[in-house]
Amino acid sequence: MSMDIKSTGGGPGQNVPIDRAGGQSGQSPKQSSASTPAPSTGGPDKVTFTGDAAKLAQLDEAIQNTTGVDANRVAEIKKAIADGTFKVDSEQIASKLIDMERDLNK
């Protein structure tokens, strides 16, 4: 997946002088001979996301499209915690964490 990036000034590989007040100026107060423009590739700038970033974006979209929270289940869990009867199943938690990690590595 890639995305075009719009330039904020100048052309690709061009330095845009900035005056001390923070604005762009036509001339730079002092330019050293060491600052040379980067070679232009001739194409637009692009950003490429890793596979993990793309998967996280898909997961984020899936979360945004969920219908919501089961209010009855939340109330049951809150009551069990308040009563001291809520049991944590560490085996199930570990298993779900491993499953999630496997899904991210696919």
Gap between the Cα atoms of 41 and 59, Å rounded: 34
Mean pLDDT of the chain: 75
- What's the whole-model pTM score? 0.33
Query: Domain residues of the chain, as ranges?
Result: 1-48
CB 4 within 8 A of CB 46: yes
**12 — phi, psi (to 5°)?**
-60, 130
pLDDT in tens, 6-34: 545 545 554 555 555 544 444 444 544 45
